[in-house]
Amino acid sequence: MDQHLRSNVLPYLDSSAQEYVRDLLDTLDEEEGITPDLAIFTDIAVVEIRKAIAAGTSKKQVPIPRELLIGCKEAYDIETVLSPEAEALTAALPRIETFYNATRQAIDYAEAIRLSMRMLDLN
């Protein structure tokens, strides 16, 4: 994940979003195991990546060919255009989302085990 973030995400983010991703990288380096902080920093990084994708996305009107039109002389369709940065981040995002979901599941599973152990404790 560290290499993925450094090579496929950081170069395409603005400086403020890069700080959030660096916080995640620091957490990955410092933490042993899966902690709630890891999930929080991963979630923040995902949000920042989505913001950058949205900022690099624009809509463009594209004329529909006349031979496809019925009852009108011209019409337009809307095409979504991604900047190269947004395309790169869109390609990188699924792996980070998968990592986040796995982290959340592990934390939820650990919490369920803790609760079960408390319920079974008869002392």
For a pLDDT cut of 90, what percent of the chain falls above it? 78
Q: Could you tell me the pLDDT band of residue 17, with boundaries at 50, 70 and 90? A: very high
pLDDT of residue 123: 54
Ramachandran category for residue 59: left, alpha or beta (phi over 0 → left; psi -120 to 50 → alpha): beta
* Domain limits for position 40: 2-120
Residues whose CB falls within 8 Å of the CB of residue 37, separated by 6 or more in sequence, listed in order: 27, 31
pLDDT at 113 over 60: yes
Greater confidence, 118 or 53? 53
pLDDT of residue 122: 58
Total domains present in the chain: 1
- Express each pLDDT in 27-45 by its tens digit: 999 878 888 999 999 999 9
Number of Cβ atoms within 10 Å of the Cβ of 29: 8
Nearest Cα to 101, choosing from 54, 28, 34? 34
Mean pLDDT, residues 63-86: 92
- Express each pLDDT in 75-91 by its tens digit: 999 999 999 999 999 99
pTM metric for this prediction: 0.81
